[in-house]
Amino acid sequence: MQAVKTDRTMASKKTTNKLIISAIILVILVVSALYFYNAQQKLQPASLPEDTVTISQTTLEKEYGLRVNLVAVTGAGGFVDVRLKILDGEKAKSLLSDKTNFPTLLVNDDIILNASEDTKSQEIRFNDDSNIFIMYVNSVNVVKQGSQLRIRFGDIVLDPITVK
């Protein structure tokens, strides 16, 4: 057998290498862009209806029988832990028996964190002096210790709360 020699110049090798490197960089940029686009889609922009009412935590306790005991980042930043105390079961039931009033979190008034469907579908026992524990996935670590967020119950929104 005879070896076949090609008359390939260094210029064509350099061009081929540049094309391969450019293709790799392009693939990395496209994959990164898709990742960030999908992550951004999970964060929904807030659109509060005009009839939304802002109330204080004191009003929440008096009128709806609920107290916010804790809002904290947990699980190495991957979750937001919200703990509510039921002070008056009947008042709390009037608010939370409607699943559209299940608490959602407004971060900086423009990002909504929702509880999972499994969490929303669990039965709430409206016993006086009982507790509700809700874990929210902290999408893209948007909530950090010290940040402000508001809890929304349907068309009722609480004053800002500092995250622990």
Q: Put the strands of the sheet holding 79-86 in their side by side order.
A: 66-74, 79-86, 130-137
Alpha-carbon distance of 159 to 103, in angstroms, equals 14
User: Which residues, in sequence order, are CB contacts of 27 under 8 Å at separation 6+?
Assistant: none
Rounded to 5 degrees, φ, ψ at 120 are: -65, -30
Structure-token pair, residue 104? 């959602």
Strands 148-153 and 111-113, bridge-based pairing:
unpaired
Alpha-carbon distance of 98 to 100, in angstroms, equals 5
The 3-class secondary structure across the chain, one letter per residue, is CCCCCCCCCHHHHHHHHHHHHHHHHHHHHHHHHHHHHHHHHHCEECCCCCCCEEECHHHHHHHHCEEEEEEEEECCCCEEEEEEEECCHHHHHHHHCCHHHCCEEEECCCEEECCCHHHHHCCCCCCCCEEEEEEEECHHHCCCCCCEEEEEECCEEECCEECC
Print pLDDT tens along the chain (164 aa): 566 565 556 557 778 888 888 889 988 888 877 776 666 555 544 456 677 889 999 999 999 999 999 999 998 889 999 999 999 999 999 999 888 899 999 987 677 888 888 888 888 899 999 999 999 999 788 999 999 999 999 889 999 999 99
User: Which residues, in sequence order, are CB contacts of 130 under 8 Å at separation 6+?
Assistant: 85, 86, 89
